[in-house]
Amino acid sequence: MKSVIERKWMGFALLSVVVPVGMLVAFKFSDMFRGPNELSTVEYPVLNLGFERPCGTIDLDKSLHRTSLIGDEASVISDFIIDDYDDAVFGSDTNALNIGINISASVSNGFVENLRMIFEEDCNCSEIVWFGVNSLYSEPYIPYPQGPYLLENLRYENHVHITWDAGVKARLELSGVNQPKTIRFLGFASWVFQHVHNETHILRFRSELVYYNGTHYTKVVLPVETTVWGDAGDSFETAREITTSDQDGYLWVVEDPEDWYKIEVKNGQAIQLNATPADYPPGTWQDLEVYLYNPNRELVASAAEPEIDYIPETLNYTAGMSGYWYIQIVKVRAGGGGLYHLSVNLAGESS
């Protein structure tokens, strides 16, 4: 049976083979996207989305949403959506994420000049593929399998993709049609990367919207960062080091039944942790057990029940010594693979 991504992207595979070779090596962008002379920039903080690399094909349904208001002159709404993941899209070492991008903007006085979207990664073994981007030449909306792109008051100008070199992986440039006050873009891309040595992959995406407010031009920059890290480890020696930041891990009884983490704790601090099965994808039946070990690698506390349950596991323990403490998360019993959310906090006085 073909994987989810193979089914979704069969139409693109036929289109991609006819992309001119010159586009894969180098690309000249039109002067209009260099921006007018009088241009101010509003850049927003980076939104982050990260998770442990899954095994197999899984629907993730993770997204980053942002509503940006630039005074009373403009608003930009953006959604960066991680749809599904396949860990063997073109072979056992090739992974792929399907990504959805939904951007809309309105300007009270003036018009939208252009919209540009850029993917970057510091890796020589990955690429971004605009799904069915050639369809942008014709209709404003073309359904599967030719390419699900929706352009409202926008016109296709240029694009580049399938670039394996580190740096800019893909770029899509659109211009406003008849100086529009509102625009919308809805489209999809695939992030394909080779995962051989349990590496961490970080993909950076940003949208750049230029609008005119009646007196001058403004560029709004909205950056996003997606991190896929390797397996969290399966022993004391390979435990993933974390801080008190939250983690989205992945477990599957068949191939990845447990994750190990380590965190530096001072004597007297209270360790508070919670492991919650993700609500999505449905039907994965995440039954978790949690174990806590001290720096001597001795089991000191656990949250485990003999009966089946699919509820969060909570554990609180006061450290009796300083050093690295170890957390073991185990998926027990049957059920498909799925994500869980691990939250770890340290509280109280330390010595």
Question: What pLDDT shows up at residue 1?
Answer: 37
* pTM as predicted: 0.78
Question: What pLDDT shows up at residue 20?
Answer: 34
Residue 140 buriedness (CB in 10 A; 0-12 / 13-18 / 19+):
middle
d(CA 209, CA 104): 10
Q: Would you say domain 4-29+37-229 falls under CATH 3.30.160?
A: no
Dump pLDDT digits (tens) for 301-339. Answer: 998 876 666 778 899 999 999 999 999 999 887 666 788
Question: What pLDDT shows up at residue 60?
Answer: 82
Chain-centroid distance, C-alpha 338? 16
Question: What pLDDT shows up at residue 140?
Answer: 39
Parse the chain into domains and list their residue ranges: 4-29+37-229, 240-347
Residue 229, CB-side half-sphere exposure with 13 Å CA sphere: 16
Q: Which residues of the chain have pLDDT under 50?
A: 1-36, 134-147
Question: What pLDDT shows up at residue 156?
Answer: 87
d(CA 174, CA 130): 14
- At the second CATH level, the architecture of 240-347 is Sandwich (2.60)
